[in-house]
Structure 1
Amino acid sequence: MNMFTRRGALTALAVTAATTASLAPLASAQAQAFPSKPITLIVPWPAGGSTDRHLRGLAEIASRHLGQPIVVENKPGGGGTLGPGTMALNARPDGYTIAQYPLGMLRIPHMQKTAWHPLNDFSFIIGVTGYTFGFVVKADSPYKSFNDYIAAARQQPGKIDYGSTGQGTSPHLLMEELADAAKVELNHVPYKGNADLMQAVLGGHVMAGSDATGWDKLVDAGQMRVLLTFGEQRTQRWPNVPTAKDLGYNVVSTSPYGLVGPKGMDPAVVRSLHDAFKKAMDDPKHLELLGQLNQAPWYKSPEDYRAWAQATFAKDRALIERLGLAAK
C-alpha cells in the first residue's frame, strides 16, 4: 500500500468513526424524545370482542403515561395473525406501530407457510394477560350441558358443529384437543373474531361457539348459556360451570398475550413503551376491566416475554403434530 492509499484509508476510517459517533447521540436523542406523535396499536380482531375491549381500555390508560394518544386499528384475519404479521413486514421499527401478539402467532407457522418468522421478525415489549376460554350455546339450544353436546356428536359424527375465532387459534385447538380426548368428530367453522362468532351463534348459523369471554354479557343477559370453561379452576363469575378438567378432559389453556413491535426497535423505545404499559397494567381501572373479562394479569418483561415465546414455539410444534394439523 503506497502513502496515498494508506492516507486515504486512514481518512475513510476517521470519517466512519466520526459519523458513527455523531449518529449515536442522535439515536439516543430520538429515543429520549419518544413519543412525539400518536402511536398505532393493531388489534387483530374485529371491534367489540373481548380482546378489543381489553386493549382499548389498556391503551387509553397507557396513553396518559406516554403523553400521546394510542390509536387502536382493528385488522382481523388469519386467526389473529394478519395484523401483527403485516406490521412485521411493513411497519418501521420506530415504536409508532405496535400490535397484540396472540398465541396463534406461535402456532400458525407450524400449520402453514408464513411470510414472517414469529421470533426473528418481532421486538417483544410486554406480556399482559391471558384469556378465560369457554364454550357457549344459544339459550334455547337443546344442549343443556357439555355432555349433551358430546353425546350428540357421538350419534352424528361430523354433523355437530361449533365456531371459533379462526383456524389455529386457541379456541379452535382447545376443541380439537377435547374432541380427540372424547373420541368424537366435530365440524369446525372458523370466524374472523368474537363479534362475528357471537352473531353466528345468536343467529343459529352455528350450534355453539368456543372463545374467550367476549360472550360474558350475552350469558349474563340470558341470551346464551356457557357449558364449559378451560381454566385450571372454575371461574369466580360462573362458579357453577364445570371446567374441562371437571369433566375428565385434561385440556387447560389461558392463551397468554402481550404487545410487540417490528424487529430492530431501539431498546430505549421498547423500554418507554414497556414502562407506560406496565403502569397501565397496574392501574385500578385496568384491573377492574380484567375482572369484568375474568382475565388475570400475566406480566412479562421484554426479555422474559421473548424467552417464553421461544419455549412455547418449540413446545407447540408437538401439539400441532399430535392433532394432525402440521403443514405437510
Structure 2
Amino acid sequence: MNRRLVCLALPCALMASTPLQPAFAEGVDDWPSRPVRIIVPYAAGGGSDALGRLVAKQLSETFKQPFVVENRAGAAGTIGSGAVARAEPDGYTLVVSGIGSHVVAPLLNDVGFDPISDFTHIAFLGGPPTVLVVHPNQPYKNIDEFVAYARARPSSISWGSPGQGTHGSMIGEAFSAAAKIKMVAVNYKGGNPAMTDLLAGHIPSAFMSFGTATPYIRSGKLRGLAITSTQRAAGFPDLPTFTELGYPALTGTTWFSLSGPPGMPPALVERLNAEVRRALKAPEIVAEMQRQNMETQDMDVAAFNRYVRSEIEHWKPFIKPSSP
C-alpha cells in the first residue's frame, strides 16, 4: 500500500477503534427535547416522593417537557440511586437524593457507589425537621428538666426513633453526646411503630419527624421539647429550637435533593439549579411544604455540594457501620 495512504488511513482506524465517550449532544438552551425521568428511590407517598412530584410538576411547566417521576424503592434508597449513578450524564435521568441515600446508607454499608464522585449534585429541595417529643405523663416539661432527670438517673430514659440511621436516630445520639447523658436507644422499623409505642407510654420519649408528630403535639397527646429547625415552627411559638437551648449542632432536616449521574455539563447543572430554586418559591409549593412542615434553603450549586460534604462529615461520628 502507498505509504501516504497508510498514513491517512491510520487516524481513521484509530478513531474507529476508540470507544466513543458519552457526550452532551444538544445545546443547554435546547435541553430538554424529550421527557426527563426523575427516579424517587423510595415508595410512593413519602416525603421524597411528595417533594419530587411537586418539583417535577413545576419543571414540566417551565421546560415544556414532561418530568416523569418513577418510584424505584429498595435498600434504603440505594437501588434507585445506584441506577442513576450508572446512567448517561445527558440530563434525562435524575434522582431525588438526600440524607438517607447519600449520607446515612453509604456510611452504614457498602452500597456500590460513592455519594460524592458518582453523582452530580444539582439542587437542594428540603425536608422536615426532627422534634424531641415526650409522653405527657412524664415529669420533665422542658429540655433542662429532661437533662437533669437523665443525669440523675443514668440509662433510665429510653428514646425511640424511626430506625437506625434515620435523622431521628442521629439527632438522638448527637443530643446524648452533647448533653453528656446516658439514655437507651430504641430504633424501630419505621415512624409508625415508634409513634404507637410512644403514645401508649411504652417508651417515654422519641426523636421523630416533625410532620409525623405535629397532630399529637397540637392535641396534647405528646409534649414537644425541642426542634431541629433553624427557627421556631409556624403555629408552634412555644416549641423552642435546639439551637436556642444551647445545642447549635442539632440543626437540620431529613433533607432531600436533586442529583444526576457524574459528568453532567456544568452549564446544564447551573440552569437546573436555578429553575429548581425558582420552583421552590412558587406559591403552591411554598404552601404545600408549609402544610407538610418542610423547610428549604436557597443554595447555588457550589453551596449545595459543600453542604452534602459537610453533612457526611458531620454525621459520620454518629453512624456505626454495619458488620460484614
Q: Which runs of 5+ in 2 are unaligned?
A: none
Aligned: 1:63 with 2:60: yes
Aligned: 1:161 with 2:158: yes
Aligned: 1:99 with 2:95: yes
- 3-state SS of the aligned residue for 1:305? helix
1:62–1:276 contact (8 Å) kept in structure 2: yes
Q: CA deviation at 1:210?
A: 1.4
Equivalent position to 1:240, from 235, 238, 241: 238
Aligned: 1:82 with 2:81: no
| Letter of the structure 2 residue corresponding to residue 258 of structure 1 | S
- Higher helix proportion, which one? 1
Matches within 5 A, 1:1-328: 3=3, 5-12=6-13, 27-28=25-26, 32=30, 34=32, 36-37=34-35, 39-42=37-40, 44=42, 48-66=45-63, 67-71=65-69, 73=71, 75=73, 77-78=75-76, 81-82=77-78, 85-89=81-85, 91-104=87-100, 105-106=102-103, 108-129=105-126, 131-138=128-135, 144-151=141-148, 153-154=150-151, 157-158=154-155, 160-191=157-188, 193-195=190-192, 197-202=194-199, 206-214=203-211, 215-255=213-253, 257-267=256-266, 270=269, 273-313=272-312, 315-316=313-314, 320-321=316-317, 325=320
For residues 97 and 211 of structure 1, do their structure 2 counterparts lie closer, same or farther at Cα, with a shift above 3 Å needed?
farther
Query: What is the root-mean-square deviation in Å for CA atoms of aligned residues?
Result: 4.0
2:84–2:95 contact (8 Å) kept in structure 1: no
| Letter of the structure 2 residue corresponding to residue 287 of structure 1 | V
Q: CA deviation at 1:120?
A: 0.5
- 3-state SS of the aligned residue for 1:116? coil
2:229–2:241 contact (8 Å) kept in structure 1: yes
2:40–2:80 contact (8 Å) kept in structure 1: yes
- 3-state SS of the aligned residue for 1:290? helix
TM-score norm. by structure 2 comes to: 0.76
Q: CA deviation at 1:118?
A: 1.2
Distance 1:134 1:204 in 2: 18
| Letter of the structure 2 residue corresponding to residue 252 of structure 1 | L
Deviations 1:90-148 (A, max 9, x none): 55545444333323523554454442111111111212335432112345566544445
Distance 2:48 2:69 in 1: 15
Q: Percent identity?
A: 25
Distance 1:140 1:153 in 2: 16
When the two structures are aligned, how many residues end up with a matched partner? 318
